[in-house]
Amino acid sequence: MNSSEAIFTVDVEEYFQAENIQDSLSKQKIASLPSRVEIGTRKLLDLLAHHGGTATFFVLGCVAEKHPCLIKDIVQAGHEVASHGYEHIPLHKHTPTSFDADLSRSIKILGDITGQTIIGYRATSFSIAPNMEWFFSVLKKNGIVYDSSLSLSLFRKNYRSLWSDILSSQKNLGILEFPPSYINLGFIRLPIGGGYFRAYPYWLTKYGLSQSIAQRRTPPLFYIHPWELDPSQPRFSLSPFNLMRHYMGLSSTETKLKRLFSNIEFASIRKYIMSQHYYA
């Protein structure tokens, strides 16, 4: 890997599993909705194949169970499969025991389908919070080498203290942390990826990732969801704020990603770690 490359990550989940949808739909309604995860995931696989990059796909165990061929195709194309848990449940709704059960279940399913050792984890909605030492203990117990559960958010106030907490090796037990990059405008830091990518003009994300590549504060890292490349997904009546978060810019994601892939070379986290000799 040369020094100009960044990391591309995907959270493989259904459009109706996004956190901003959950409060507006009953479980019964959610269970009746059609699966569309293959649509966006296959678009991403095509884009990556066309531009020659690799990516880490954080896959939900419950999605992998229903779409094993899709997960096998991800691996066959040279990408990494990592865990996004079994169900899409934020960490604060877990106990250490329920989290352990959810994580180990996902690792078993993903390992059986891919034939690979699963070494990475990303929590639902980047939901790591203060005083979660148990989180790293459970990751370690399950053989996880790296985590990607902390992202800067415009709605999160404790990012900096959490970041220094996570970097404290006594607390994280030596697990590597791969946070999504942010844009440093001096007076404000803006998150990169997902809904922010859809909301911003293209040049702002490109500027932030180029800044991250140049400064190497942390590994330059981008993330997206398959449903963000699926403008034809069923629409739900949500609060005005969640309507904006979920549906803004869906029709332009693919075009923007094509520009991103033609400007930046991407690799998976596993490849990045191996190129840095973190992990053999």
- The answer to whether 182 and 208 are in contact (CB under 8 A) is yes
Q: How far is the CB of 276 from Zn ion (least distance, A)?
A: 26
Nearest to 81 by CA among 42, 47, 54, 62: 54
Would you tell me which residues interact with Zn ion (CB under 5 A)? 11, 13, 124
The smaller minimum CB distance to Zn ion, of residues 175 and 224, is found at 224
Q: How far is the CB of 215 from Zn ion (least distance, A)?
A: 28
- The answer to whether 221 and 5 are in contact (CB under 8 A) is no
Q: How far is the CB of 226 from Zn ion (least distance, A)?
A: 10
Question: Alpha-carbon distance 10 to 105, whole Å?
Answer: 20
User: What helix, strand, coil percent values describe the chain, rounded to 5?
Assistant: 50, 10, 40
Nearest to 63 by CA among 46, 44, 39, 38: 38
The smaller minimum CB distance to Zn ion, of residues 5 and 11, is found at 11
Neighbours of 129 (CB within 10 A): 15
The smaller minimum CB distance to Zn ion, of residues 5 and 13, is found at 13
Q: How far is the CB of 6 from Zn ion (least distance, A)?
A: 20
Alpha carbon distance, N-terminus to C-terminus of the chain: 15
The smaller minimum CB distance to Zn ion, of residues 206 and 226, is found at 226
The smaller minimum CB distance to Zn ion, of residues 151 and 210, is found at 151
Q: Which residue is nearest to Zn ion (CB)?
A: 11
Q: How far is the CB of 135 from Zn ion (least distance, A)?
A: 16
